[in-house]
Structure 1
Amino acid sequence: MANFAKPSVPRFTAEVYQNEFLPVGGRDVHAIVTVTSTGGATATRAALAGVAGSTAVVIMVDCSGSMEYPPTKMQGARQATAAAIDTLRDGTSFAVIAGTHEAREVYPGQGRLAVADATTRARAKEALHRLTSGGGTAIGTWLRLADGLLSNTTAAIRHGILLTDGRNEHEEPERLRATLDACAGRFTCDARGVGTDWEVAEVTGIAGALLGTADIVADPAHLAEDFTRMMENAMGKEVADVVLRVWTPVGAEILFVKQVAPAVLDLTGRRTAAGPRAGDYPTGSWGDESREYHLCVRVPAAAVGQEMLAARISLALPAAVPGQAGSGSASVLAQGLVRAVWTDDLAASTAISPQVAHYTGQAELAQVIQQGLQARKLGDIGGATAKLGRAVQLAVTSGNEDTAKLLAKVVDVVDAAAGTVRLKAKVADADEMTLETRSTQTVRVKKS
């Protein structure tokens, strides 16, 4: 493992966990890469070029007619937005958008962003009185306006916060998908659903496409707390547009690249070319934090005793887009190596890395929860019971206590270790939606 750091930038490390031994004829190499960023100093492309970095945030608030039922939703949204504005660091560029079947600038207006200080924060909170409900829901229009506002800033950290209480009924799904594709890589976005009348797949899809977080806030009274936490997290981001760069040798094929902690997110289809036999996978913005990635590489078969470098994994800041500050060659922040060694020692080749085993189980846990809830919605009692029973088993054995508690609100657990459960006859919408929304959240490997 090699680490690279510069003065006044966070230090990135990459640790690789794997069983490098393959049996005769074996070709698939699995590895977990733990990436950690520490240091607490701004390290955007601009900072690496000696220019101070900056942050821009756009808050998108659903103002459709349904936000008035009950009135506490609209009231909670105003209070939450005010709390988020109060959390803005001085110098942060920001704007507020009201979203219905169209998008409207609430503050500061005229296609621009304000710069946070005591005066602009006070004016922005006063402008929140203009957040009134009425109209439909077309989330793509909100995101397109946010993208336009953020494109006018030189800030390296570009982030959105989106709140909705309903389904995207006034826009074709293809239009939203195209918008997400266009916005991907331009800014990150956290998405929240308030109440229980919104579509989980839409909210999690937005967050996943834009490398943000998704969650449910069933009670509007908790919105301010959640918005404050999201904004604090955004203010803690210090490095923008970091990529996971994977190089493989001739004849090797990447089967998948997934983020597996703190949540499961498949990055395989987001690869962009980065030179001969190398590809970049986006990871978004970083603060002081740690994430883990699961990589699977298929290598050419080799004879017993042979070994090869199966992959070289780097955390990198690619050369900036022409015209943006900090353009130039890529900066490598950390690096790790994945190896393959062929052996006829059965014990060595059949051993499973604890990290690989754990996160394979966490990915399965997310999948069986989603499959079980879908089967339940379709009236497939047997299928739902089997899938959610397996979910209980995986949650308990892996120590994922939060998910186990959420499952217990949907099923009666008879034998957790065996995965024996009974579906509850009646489940609150909020409990089912919370389980589905948070199904991809994972726990770390227990330290020995």
Structure 2
Amino acid sequence: MTYGMSSHTLPLQPAIRLHVDLDGDLRPHRSAKIEAHLRVDMAADSAPVDLPAVELAVIIAVDVAEANRPAVRHALPTALRALPDGISFTVLGSGPEPVRCYPRGDAEWAVADHAVRRRAVFAAGALPLHRDGPRPAGYAVWAAGARALLTGRPLSVRHLVLITDGSSAPGETRLEEELEACAGQFTCDVFAVGADWNPDPLLALAERLHGTAEFVDEGLGGAITGAIERLRRVHTPRLPIEVTVRPSVRQVSLSEKAPRPRRLRAQAHPERPHRWSFPTYQWHEQGRRDYLLTLVADADTDPLETDLQFAMVSIGDVHEPVVARWHRPGPAPAHASAGAASVRFLTGTAAMRNALREGLEALQKGQREVAERCLGQAASMAEKFEADWVLGEIREVADIEDAAAGRVRLPTAVDSGALRPMILRAGSYPGGTLTDTVFPRPGPYCRQCSTPAGSEARYCIACGKELL
């Protein structure tokens, strides 16, 4: 069986391991929320080191004003010289509509070799950029132009590298609609240059098109080359995670938490109303991803104190059940299971990122009280989760008086230009994966009365029931 953006996609090669972790002891009500941590490990299994370049089609789009030409003058030739032989590529410049810089003439695509790279570098010297006069309506125009080109190039990996200084963004009205049309057609990395871009549409592009968004002050040529090199390590361009639920489950959502935070869009199966597919992209030959699966279930007719399978999670040929039980009304167990701790880590780090981003955005708008409160929340959670990168970001704009207590103090003035890259990092910075030792499993406990037990216990000391 193959997965991919087109019929040319390579077959699934790496070995997959799927682990499901959750708090299996729930309290029933009509709209009970069940959260599970999905850990997917992909191991190399005789996969080649790099995907052949002939399987890649890449658009390099430069959405930059003439005043910022120095930001791309040397970077673009550097990236073009580094293109691997056999890759299909197009270079787009800026005008009232995206303008093809290379290849010229009727051809929409060039295939890299030594001579083609030399001609592309020469053409890049006259790269058209925004000047005074009409400008593109925004990022929707760039996404639509990329979609038109890439859907006609049915290769395994199709990708847009968008370099922007935000100069075409005013008037943006239909980005969400265009991203809906682009989803599944190609992926996208965004590199922001200059100081006048808006982080929100860049993060929307990166999330919906399963790529990254980052600010590049120096080394843009190396950043573009690095993005293309990452594409060559993609051996499974598209791999859906399928969730089949029991009839009592009314809502299903799935979010990737690591390595990069993104909300996945569900695809329904009309012929199978209880099955949902969540497409994921750019699976390398090895690595790990962490997801948070959320189910909303109606417990009115379910039995109590009985193990129930609420969902089956499938990825490739690997399947794992989501099993939990409804407890009788009463106090929740005093202990926290390993699954509950794992889920709390995922939800907590997501809340930490949101607090950091909201604090930075509030600071940019001059809402100092809101900024101080949100950044304090982010600092408190960062201390708890040992997220040093978050504490480092906060220290760029505030003094942390007591991280654990969430006390930060803002200076009198903050450089608003420094906030945009920080907002971008808060939304797209790669997170660390959970390790097996982060949440050691507790000793056994009684499922009947929730009394904790020693690690060697076989029966509950309180009620005498056998421990499971």
Q: Same fold (TM over 0.5)?
A: yes
Equivalence map 1:192-211=2 (5 Å): 192-211=191-210
What TM-score does the superposition give when structure 2 sets the normalisation length?
0.80
Asked if 1 retains the 8 angstrom alpha-carbon contact of 2:54 and 2:87, the reply is no
Three-state SS of the structure 2 residue aligned to 1:438 is helix
1:134 aligns with 2:123: no
Is 1:393 the counterpart of 2:380? The answer is: yes
Q: Which residue of 1 aligns with 2:395?
A: 408
After TM superposition, give the deviation of residue 132 of structure 1 in Å. Answer: 4.0
Encode CA deviations 1:153-184: one digit per residue, 9 max, x unaligned: 120211110010124345x4223333222211
Cα gap change, 1:131/1:270 in structure 2, threshold over 3 Å: closer, same or farther?
farther
Q: Map 1:8-47 to 2 at 5 A.
A: 9-23=13-27, 25=29, 27-39=32-44, 41=47
2:258 maps to what in 1?
261
The corresponding residue for 2:224 is 227
- Alignment match, 2:110: 114
Query: Aligned pair 1:421/2:408, yes or no?
Result: yes
Q: 1:160 to 1:266 in 2, by over 3 A?
A: same
Q: Distance in 1 between matches of 2:60 and 2:145?
A: 11
TM-fit CA distance, 1:190: 0.6
Tell me, in whole angstroms, the C-alpha distance in 2 between the residues paired with 1:353 and 1:216.
36
Corresponding residue of 2:65: 64
Secondary structure (helix, strand or coil) at the match of 2:234 reads coil
For residues 65-105 of structure 1, give each alpha carbon's deviation from its aligned partner in whole angstroms, at most 9, with x where no partner exists: 3424xxx3132xxx333333344333221111113331111
The structure whose Rg is larger is: 2
> What letter matches 2:388 in structure 1?
E
Q: Are the counterparts in 1 of residues 188 and 210 from structure 2 also a CA contact under 8 Å?
A: yes
Alignment pair present for 1:156 and 2:145: no
Q: Is the 8 A contact 2:85 2:113 kept in 1?
A: yes
| 1:439 to 2:436 alignment | no
Contact 1:24 1:303 in 2 (8 A): no
How many angstroms apart in 2 are the aligned matches of 1:417 and 1:113? 55
Matched AA of 2:257: V
Q: What's the counterpart of residue 103 of structure 1?
A: 98
Q: 1:239 to 1:74 in 2, by over 3 A?
A: same
C-alpha offsets along residues 290-346 of structure 1, whole Å, 9 cap, x if unaligned? 22110111233233321211111122xxxxxxxxxxxxxxxx343322111234594
8 Å Cα contact 2:140-2:172 kept in structure 1: no
Distance 2:379 2:238 in 1: 36
Q: Partner residue of 1:166?
A: 166
Amino acid at match of 1:85: L
* Counterparts of 1:394 and 1:104, CA distance in 2: 46
Separation of aligned partners in 1, 2:277 and 2:378: 32
| Unaligned residue ranges in structure 2 (runs of 5+) | 1-9, 438-468
Aligned partners of 1:228 and 1:427: how far apart in 2? 34
Per the alignment, in what secondary structure is the counterpart of residue 382 of structure 1? helix
Determine helix, strand or coil for the equivalent of 1:174.
coil
Asked if residue 90 in structure 1 is aligned to residue 82 in structure 2, the reply is: no
- Closer/same/farther in 2, CA of residues 445 and 82 from structure 1, 3 Å limit: same
Q: Secondary structure at the match of 1:201?
A: helix
Following the alignment from structure 1 to structure 2, what is the Cα–Cα distance between the partners of residues 146 and 7? 25
AA of the residue aligned to 1:35: V
Aligned equivalents of 2:48 and 2:158: distance in 1? 14
Q: Distance in 2 between matches of 1:56 and 1:249?
A: 41
Aligned to 1:336: 320
Q: Does 1:146 align with 2:143?
A: no
CA contact (8 A) 2:309 2:322 kept: yes
Q: Unpaired runs of 5+ in structure 1?
A: 1-5, 316-331
Richer in helix (by share): 1
* 2:139/2:175 contact within 8 Å kept: yes
Mark the CA change 1:127 to 1:36 in structure 2 (over 3 Å): closer, same or farther.
farther
**Does 1:310 find its partner at 2:299?**
no
Q: Distance in 1 between matches of 2:172 and 2:64?
A: 20
Percent sequence identity over aligned pairs: 27
Q: CA deviation at 1:403?
A: 2.2
1:273 aligns with 2:278: no
Paired with 2:436 and 2:275, the residues of 1 have a C-alpha distance of 33
How many residue pairs get aligned? The number is 411
* Structure 2 CA distance for partners of 1:258 and 1:275, relative to 1, 3 Å: farther
Distance 1:15 1:144, change over 3 A: same
* Paired AA for residue 412 in structure 2: A
State the Cα deviation string for residues 365-398 of structure 1 (Å, max 9, x = none). Answer: 1211222223223333222111111111112221
**CA separation in 2, counterparts of 1:313 and 1:100?**
47
Post-superposition offset of 1:282: 2.0
**Equivalent position of 2:211 in the other structure:** 212
Between 337-346 and 140-149, report the one with greater CA deviation.
337-346
Question: Which residue does the alignment assign to 1:123?
Answer: 119
